[in-house]
Amino acid sequence: MRSNNILKKNLILLTASLLAVGCFASIALAEKAGTVLRDHQIEAEDYFDITVLGNVSVSPDGQNVAYSESRWGRGKEGRSTDLWLASTNGKSNQRLTFDGFGASSPTWEPQSKFVFFLGRDNSGQDDPPRDGSRQVFRISADGGQPQAMTRVKKGVSGFQLSSDGNSLYYKTSTEVTDEPWKDLKSEYSDLEFGHGVRNLHSIRRLDLNSWRDEEILAADQVIWEMQLSPDGKQIALITTEDNELIFKEGWSKVEILDIASGEITSLTDQAWRDQHKSPYGWLEDLSWSHDSQALAFSIAYDGFAPNIWVAEKTDISWPLQLINRPDGVTYSGGMTWQGTNRTLVFKGESMGRVRVYGIKKVKNGSQGKSSVLVGGDVVVGGYSFDKKGSKMVASYETTSTANDLFIIKGETKHSRLTNANPQVATWILPQIQHVSWTGADGDPCHGILELPAGYKKEDGPLPTVIELHGGPTSSSKYRLRLWIYGRALLASKGYALLSPNYHGSTGYGDEFLEKLIGRENEIEVTDIANGTRWLIEEGIADADRIGVMGWSNGGYLTNCMIVAEPDMFAAASSGAGVLDMTIQWGIEDTPGHVINYVEGLPWERAKHYQEASPLYNLDRVKTPTLIHVGGNDPRVPPAHSKALYRGLKHYLNVPCELIVYPGEPHGLTTHENRLAKITWDLAWFEKYLLGTDEN
């Protein structure tokens, strides 16, 4: 065994070296020859060795692809991100920035010689651009030192490069204090106010030939997104009047700025909003067609299926067209147009997979046939085309590989360009299945089941954990995923893990998604309980050793399950979970979420708010419960977790522990805190499901 481990480590180092010089063929040959041994049991620390790829951008000439690699630091550090470059022929790969310089929004200039991007230079100087503020930088595709394009105090929050490469448009912010109470709010400016102090955005244009810098839009609104049209004449904007915490949800508008005249045209008025199933949708994903005559965007909601819209310019207006998605496919971002034609491309989710779809001939209020551009059992993260739309690169995960870049030659014909996580080739992988059972209302319910490597039913039932995804307008995907909520790691420890995609989940059709409206803490609870009983009936789950866990909406559902099924679970881990819906409406940063699901305001639907809340039946709970929450969580504030702890410990005598992560938001951001969460969960389940002594 010792010699095998030495061989494995040497092969990992060799693979990394081969990657650096672009010898991907040698890597493939080593794997094919069987010289990479799968003898590594997955451990908690392996999570922090995973490299995440993102920000995929193919050069206009199709020869290279710029992308980001994010890696975990240690201790109190979070992830750091740098820019990389790979040739699309698979022969070379190089790192362009170092020391967490950043790599968001990589954009190629038209000659494919330079990449522009948003980054941070942390040289420690007092003035920009080397003070750690976010600025626009440019770097040669051949490497070298990044050059600062902007030097704005407090940094830049977004940019666009003109299609001819001559102009850089960028967004800056200005704090504005409104009347009334302006004098007092200015005098006590170190305090936080509910409203009246706004960070508004202006847009400036930098001429990259003369280096003349000028303002083209004054700071009189909040700009959440901007997209410059290919002809350089217009900028599409998503705006609000304020940036109060909840203000993007339901009040944002799509507008078009005519650069020459300064005239702004609004495309999404209140009458358009009034046609929707909910007023609390947020707009995003602006994308211009190549001819600058059509603008695509999406609107997303909590609880309802997102939609794709296209506004097409006529002589007098911009009429809006609702795009029909393929049956059963939920829109999941990444909107763009392919090349110079009118094929609208986007990511879509179906049955736990995330693929790339195209809809041809989106023009004159009609649309043509849809097709799958990137198919198979994949979960696509990002993708990009060259200028002609003929060369495509995508990053994706499968059930046996971590995320990597692939050149796309057909729906299922893909060639690998990177091997960012060679260590995964040595992991003993869980068995991953997309499974189904009968859920609420007799509907088929699906989920992801992970079992230990080599496990067979005749081996007998296993200790089991039911892992519940957040959202709920989200899902657990059919892929290899090692992360802090149990996937991959628990199977390596001998557990079965079921991740139900309960009613309200994406990827199973609009009706299945929207059935949760008005039925929280009911229909999805039935789905989860039925899935747990199905695992028991299948002989996979040991009925006496079942745990439940989740974060955010998964934490809320964990709270719901231990109330609804007090005898089903022997242990629970509740992360950032809602306990009382009325309090949640009052203190979270997106109250439209609660209003959508409960179908009204607390004084309009008081009984329903109570029925949706685990708090009012908390006396049913018997399950030992571990509680996690970020100390500064704005989405599900710590009050819920503290109330759950108080009820279980001080009034109901249920074994519990409360862990508050100081300063953390809705998701844990540091290596140390994420490792603590994993370690506590493992110890908790070992004690209550495996019967080991408490550490």
pLDDT at residue 35, as a whole number: 65
DSSP label at 130?
S
Sign (positive or negative) of CA dihedral 576, 529, 510, 608: negative
**Joined tokens for residue 353:** 């997979």
Q: CA 333 to CA 304: how far, in whole Å? A: 15
Percentage helix, strand, coil for the chain under 3-state DSSP, each rounded to 5: 20, 35, 45
The model's pLDDT over 108-117, given as tens digits with 9 standing for 90+, comes to 999 999 999 9
CB 476 within 8 A of CB 432: no
User: CB of 583 within 8 A of CB of 639?
Assistant: yes
* Side chain identity, residue 360: K
3-state secondary structure of 72: strand
Structure confidence at residue 560 (pLDDT):
98
* pLDDT tens profile 267-283: 999 889 999 999 999 99
Output the pLDDT for position 28: 47
CA distance 287 to 295: 6
**CA torsion through residues 6, 8, 14, 17, sign:** negative
Rounded to whole angstroms, the Cα distance separating 410 from 398 reads 17
Mean pLDDT for 378-395 is: 97
The band of 67, judged by pLDDT with boundaries at 50, 70 and 90, is very high
pLDDT of 606 higher than 50: yes
Q: Are 515 and 433 in contact (CB under 8 A)?
A: no
Which of helix, strand or coil describes residue 625? Answer: strand
In the chain, % of residues over pLDDT 70: 95
Residue 389, pLDDT > 90, answer yes
First to last CA, the chain: 29
- Residue partners of 51: CB distance under 8 A and separation at least 6: 69, 70, 71, 402, 420, 421
**Residue 2: what pLDDT?**
34
Averaged pLDDT, 633-654: 97
| b/e code 409-435 from CB counts within 10 Å (16+ = b) | eeeeebeebbbbbbbbbbbebbebebb
Structure tokens at 113: 């010689």
**Pick from 301, 295, 231, 235: nearest CA to 268:** 295
| % of the chain exceeding 90 in pLDDT | 88
Task: For residue 227, give the amino acid letter.
Answer: Q
Residue-wise pLDDT for 125-175, tens only, equals: 889 999 999 999 999 999 999 999 999 999 999 999 999 999 999 999 999
Task: List the domains of the chain with CATH numbers.
Answer: 38-156 (2.120.10.60), 430-662 (3.40.50.1820)
Helices (H), 111-266: 182-187, 248-251
**Least confident span in 3-12, 105-114, 308-317:** 3-12
Pairwise CA distance, residues 276 & 668, whole Å: 34
pLDDT tens figures, 472-508:
999 999 999 999 999 999 999 999 999 999 999 999 9
Radius of gyration of the CA atoms of the chain, in A: 26
pLDDT mean over 441-456: 98
Query: Longest C-alpha distance within the chain, in Å?
Result: 75
CB contact set of 228 (below 8 Å; sequence gap of 6+) = 160, 161, 162, 163, 169, 234, 235, 288
Q: Tell me what pLDDT residue 183 has.
A: 93
In this prediction, residues 10-28 reach a mean pLDDT of 41
Alpha-carbon distance 138 to 278, whole Å? 42
Q: Report the alpha-carbon distance of residue 451 to residue 540 in Å, rounded.
A: 9
Segment 583-603 mean pLDDT: 93
Provide the pLDDT confidence category of residue 546 given band limits of 50, 70 and 90: very high
pLDDT at 621 over 70: yes
Q: What per-residue confidence (pLDDT) applies to 566?
A: 97
pLDDT band at 11 (very low <50, low <70, confident <90, very high): very low
Burial per residue of 461-499, b for 16 or more beta-carbon CB atoms within 10 angstroms, e otherwise: bbbbbbbbbbbbbbbbbbbbbbebbbbbbbbbbebbbbb
| 39-74 burial: b if 16+ Cβ within 10 Å, else e | ebebebebbbebbbbbbbbbbbbbebbbbbbbbbee
DSSP result, 96-123: ---SS---EEEEE-TTSSEEEEEEE--S
Residue 194 burial (10 A CB sphere; 0-12, 13-18, 19+)? exposed
661 contacts 675 by C-beta, under 8 angstroms: no
Structural contact between residues 277 and 516, judged by C-beta atoms closer than 8 angstroms:
no
